[in-house]
Amino acid sequence: MADKKQKSSLPVYLLTGVCLLILCIGVCIAVLIKPYEKAQTYLNVVFMDQSMKIAPSSGLNGLVIKENQIETTPAAEQEQLYDSGEVIRPAFGEQYAVLQCEDISLSVPVYWGSSAELLERGACQATSSVVIGEKGNSVIDAHVNTFFANLNQLEPGNTVTLYTEYGIFTYQVSEKIQFVNTNKKYVLPTEDDRLTLYTCEAQVLGTSENRTGVICTLVSRQFYHPAEEANS
Amino acid sequence: MTKIRFYLPKILLTFLLIFLTIGTELCLLVQHTALTQKAFETVAEQQHLDEKAYAALESYFQSRTNSTGIPAEVYLNAITQEDMKQGILSSISEAMEHLHFHIGDGYLIAMDFTKLEASVTDFFHQYADANNIQKDEIFNQKVQANLEEAEAKILYTADTFRFGTIYEHGWFDKLRKFLDIFKKIMTVLCICTAVILILLILCCKGNFSELLYWLGLTETISGLLISVPCLYLLKTDYFSAFVVKDAQIYAAVTGYLNYLTARTGTAFIIISMTGIIFLILFTAMQKLKNKNQTTAE
């Protein structure tokens, strides 16, 4: 009889444990749900890279650089060019254009976005400026000791061409500029179509606070595909 | 009915004891693991922060050559990985001093820049001699500006845990006050745990096996409630999604978070295991009791 009584109390002990565990989990959820909801936004910002989880081992600090093969001589099927078309917005760190100027023997890849890693590879376009082909001010800069060493040799009237995957854009140098790096006048959006190229003022050693460059006005805009086709 | 009258208080006490155990253990972990010099130094060693910080410096000075024309070697030959290690350790000890004692104003990382100063000054002078550049006031200013910029960058890189930023925003003072309150909370929690434990012992007076059961339940459940989420975070590698990708900061932050999670998980797994041992002992004692009763009958 006593054995039966003891045996029957074991499931009670087991059930008590399970019930207590469920109760505690419930209490934890109830107590933590509100703080979690509040913290979720911050957690999503701080740990937003859930899909990629890249450990920064390549020395690029997580930056994904994409090199594209951009033709500077349009292919035969692209002989037909159009005045209007669709621009393709690049991703940060993507090479999306080639900047050429025969007058100073300049040919440099242009990356979307600006960082030390990208500046080592070519010229960089500020993401606050407009994508080449869109209306406004496209601002491109590079180091004076590398790609833009001869930028100060550009003179008004020289031609600058930008080749992209979606078209060719030709500009003419209209003005030489000099400004202090804190002066944002030349890098701000503009009403007219222009290209602003600048670099640091060449100095014997060390960096200069002064910037030197050129403003170019748009001469021609040639897209490989008409707007409708690009949309489709 | 009588059984329930005795059973319910024990459930209630166990329920309270579970959360008190969690609270006390978490407080102990914060006090003796999370905010200690040893924890940060262990992470710095495990994650090879000196190596990563030096690589970041190499990359910075090499990239800077493009805009300044000063070869990276001018800086890198004067700063070694060992110097960076000392800088990182200094940043940790300085931060802990600020956190645990109020040591006055200023967050200072101790690093010896004598070699760097000599290297940069020599380079500038040699360059000036070779290119007939006048060594006037402007030249000296340029040397000084370059030195200050380089030293600031090295100190910034050595501060892998970003204690400097925490200091600038006055968070050490806030954390110190929080730790003082924390100590009081911990005392209260310890007293409450002791009181509840005594009450539970009194409820189970004369029945040691039953006391083992309730204690086992407390330990097992409190252990599971914390160790399971910790194991989930470690298994899914949750912290590796950290958004800042500067190698040394990424390693410092994710390394520290993983270290804390692992330590917390381990502590609560041990608590759970203790609980399970209590429950096994309880079952064994019950079986023995049953056997003795059967033999007696």
Closest-approach residue (CA) in chain A for B240: A53
Three-class SS of residue A186?
coil
Residues of B whose CB is below 8 A from A46: 242-243
Which string of b and e fits A84-116 if b means at least 16 CB within 10 Å?
ebbbeebeebbbbbbbbbeebebebbbbbbbbb
What is the band of B57 on the pLDDT scale with cuts at 50, 70, 90?
A: very high
Single out the residue of A232, A228, A221, A61 nearest to residue A130, CA to CA.
A221
The Cα angle at residue B246 between residues B241 and B248, in degrees rounded to 5: 100
* Orientation angle between helical segments B49-68 and B137-158, nearest 10 degrees: 150
Does residue B221 have a pLDDT over 90? Answer: yes
For the residues B215-228, what does the mean pLDDT come to?
A: 96
For residue A18, give Cα distances in angstroms to A104, B84, B152, B214, B270.
80, 53, 58, 13, 20
For the residues A50-71, what does the mean pLDDT come to?
A: 67
Does residue A185 have a pLDDT over 80? Answer: yes
- pLDDT for the residue numbered A75: 58
Choose among A10, A48, A117: nearest Cβ to B241: A48
Does residue B1 have a pLDDT over 50? Answer: no
- Chain B closest-CA separation from residue A162 CA (Å): 24
Write out pLDDT tens, residues B145-193.
889 999 999 999 999 999 999 999 989 889 888 888 988 999 999 999 9
Residues of B whose CB is below 8 A from A62: 245, 250
Which amino acid is present at B4?
I
Scan for tokens 């900061």, then name that residue.
Answer: B249
Phi-psi label, residue B221: left if phi above 0, alpha if psi -120 to 50, beta otherwise: alpha
Measured between CB atoms, does B292 come within 8 Å of chain A?
no
Measured between CB atoms, does B233 come within 8 Å of chain A?
no
| Residue B145 to residue A206, Cβ atoms within 8 A | yes
Three-class SS of residue A219?
strand
**Distance separating alpha carbons of residues B41 and B53, to the nearest angstrom:** 15
- pLDDT for the residue numbered B95: 93
| Residue B224 to residue A119, Cβ atoms within 8 A | no
- pLDDT for the residue numbered A13: 85
- Chain B closest-CA separation from residue A210 CA (Å): 12
Percent of chain A, pLDDT > 90? 47
Does residue B141 have a pLDDT over 70? Answer: yes
Does residue A107 have a pLDDT over 90? Answer: yes
Percent of chain B, pLDDT > 70? 98
Contacts for B224 with CB less than 8 Å, ≥ 6 apart: A21, B268, B272
Q: Is the ipTM above a cut-off of 0.90?
A: no
- pLDDT for the residue numbered B152: 94
Q: pLDDT higher for B215 or B7?
A: B215
For the residues A207-229, what does the mean pLDDT come to?
A: 86
Single out the residue of A122, A93, A107, A212 nearest to residue A161, CA to CA.
A107
Choose among B55, B133, B240: nearest Cβ to A204: B133
Three-class SS of residue A179?
strand
- pLDDT for the residue numbered A50: 61
Does residue A39 have a pLDDT over 70? Answer: yes
Paired with A138 in beta bridges are A195
- pLDDT for the residue numbered A129: 93
**Distance separating alpha carbons of residues B145 and B153, to the nearest angstrom:** 12
- For residue B227, count other CB atoms closer than 10 A to its CB: 20
Does residue A64 have a pLDDT over 90? Answer: no
Residues of A whose CB is below 8 A from B120: none
**Distance separating alpha carbons of residues B67 and A124, to the nearest angstrom:** 14
- pLDDT for the residue numbered B6: 73
Three-class SS of residue A222?
strand
Write out pLDDT tens, residues B20-44.
999 999 999 998 899 999 999 999 9
Measured between CB atoms, does B24 come within 8 Å of chain A?
no
- pLDDT for the residue numbered A202: 77
Residues of B whose CB is below 8 A from A200: 67
What is the band of A1 on the pLDDT scale with cuts at 50, 70, 90?
A: very low
Mean pLDDT, chain B, whole residue set: 90
For the residues A117-142, what does the mean pLDDT come to?
A: 92
Q: What is the DSSP letter of B30?
A: I
Does residue B136 have a pLDDT over 60? Answer: yes
Does residue A76 have a pLDDT over 80? Answer: no
